[in-house]
Every structure is written in C-alpha cells, then in structure tokens.
Amino acid sequence: MGRVLVVGGDGQVGCDLRRRLAATAQVLTTTRSGRLADGGECEALDLGDADAIAPLLRRLSPDHVVNAAAYTAVDRAESEPALAHAVNAVAPGRLAEACAAAGIGLIHFSTDYVFDGRATRPYREDDATAPLNVYGRSKLDGETAIADSGARHLILRTAWVYAAAHGHNFLRTMLRLGAQREELRVVADQRGSPTPTWLLAEATTRVLERGIVASGVRHLAAAGETSWHGFAEAIFAEALARGLLARAPRVTAIAAADYPTPAQRPAYSVLDTQSLRSEYTLEFPDWREGLRIAFERGGAA
C-alpha cells in the first residue's frame, strides 16, 4: 500500500482511518493546526488555503491520498457559504489536480445530502442530484471538481456518520443529553442509514489494498434504514445494556417541521451500496450491528 496521506486526520473519520491503515501502510497525516488530539505533531494543512495543497503533496510524495477533511457544520454553512465552498469544493478540486499531476490515487468522502430526499428506494450513484442546502451543494461541487481533475479517484458518498469515542455526532449528543434529561424530542420523518466510522475505515482500507478499480462515485453506508428517532432509541438501548446510562430518557417522535433548522435536510437519503460491495467484495452490516460494534470498539465518552 505504501505511503498514505490522510487529510483531516483529527476528525472522527480521520482518527479511525489512521488507526486502521497503520497496520498495513506508512500513514502521513495533516490537520489544520499541525497537531493531533493526543498532542502529537503532524503536517499542517488549512484547506481554506488551497495554494498550500500542491507544495505539500510534492514534498510528502504519498502513494495515495485519503481526504477525510470537510466543512461539516450543516446548519452553520447556511450563513458561511463561502467557507463551506472553499473547504468542500475548491480544496478537493485542487487536491485532485495535484494528485493528477503526480499520478497519485485519491479517495474522497462525500454525502447523502447531494440528494433531495424525494426517492422511494435507495439512491444509486447515477440518480439525479439536487441538494437542499449549502452544505450539500458545496459537497456536490467538490465531486464535480474531482471528476474534472483527471485524477484517478474514488468518491465515497456516505451518510449519518458517527463514532462512539470522538467527534461531534448524533450518537455522542444523544448520550450526553440522555444523561441530563428525562425526555428528548427527536425527528421521526427523516430516514437514512447510520454509518459508523469503523466501517468507513475498513472499507477504505480494502479499496486501497485492491487499488481503485475505476474512477467515479460509489456509495458506502451501513445496510438497512431508520429514522433519527429509531437511531436514538437504539443508542439508548445499547447504552443501557452496557451500563453506560443508569436510565434511558423518554424519546418522543416529532416531525422535522416541529424542529426547524437553518438547513433543510432530505426526508429520505438511503444509499444503494451494491456497486462498491461488488467491486471490492465487501459486506456491510445492518446499521444496528454497526452500532453494536461501534460501542464495542470505541467505547463511549
């Protein structure tokens, strides 16, 4: 596998990627600050400064690049569209151009939010995109920039990403609020597939071991589907079974309209993962099994 550069190595996806890849590759890492959460040093790269990307790649000369960095504050993006576009569209495009110039393969993560949520069956890679919010548009623009770069690439769209031990995500928010409150009101009319970071790391490693079969977009998510309300109830059931909570709060189902947010979200964003599974002989667990394994591997904090 050689030298793998993980861009955004301190994010929830980047942390699991670094751990998984370390067993089979020489892992190079960038963070915005040049430091990791444990205090260790790494390469500094601010994706808001696109001009810094090509010189860094020339200096490090990796065999592969995995871009796990992104502007992911979905609601804040509505008031910071320029920054979201710079990080999610301009920077990936420049990264891909640098990879193309050096013959480096690129793996990049995108999102289910490129779709409008009107489908009635899981979205395939060739289904029409129609983002509902600034974040989704910025990620779609990033996909286009990568595709136009000429780089050998794989864009992995994923959904409802979470980790048990680190990052800002739905699972950790539910555990924190569940320990503080007797009742939580959670949206029940948006459906997707909660996907743990350990699964992203495992699948990405398999892709790197095999090599990029064909450039393009593929979907990567846990199997099955649920609502945010169903995900919350499963989180609390798992936490109770493991003694992480003394009691579970009452989880009341509400409509998205009852919980207004600056960014509109798709009502349905389940992804069809058949293409990626077939190409790389992968099996993705049901989202509930993925959650159980996430608790086992990552604990919860």
**CA–CA gap between residue 74 and residue 80 (Å, rounded):** 10
Give the orientation angle of helix 197-210 with respect to helix 287-298, to 10 degrees. 100
Contact 232, 169 (CB under 8 A): no
**Annotated catalytic residue within 123, 135, 268, 280:** 135
For residue 84, which phi and psi values (nearest 5 degrees)?
-60, -40
Q: Tell me which residue has tokens 């790649």.
A: 57
Tell me whether residue 135 is one of the annotated catalytic residues.
yes
Provide the 3-class DSSP secondary structure of residue 218. strand
Token pair listed for 60: 């490090």
Cβ atoms within 10 Å of 33's Cβ, excluding its own: 12
Q: Tell me which residue has tokens 């992804």.
A: 271
Which residues are within 8 A (CB) of 63 and not within 5 positions of it... i.e. 6 or more apart? 1, 2, 3, 4, 104, 105
Tell me the catalytic residues: 135
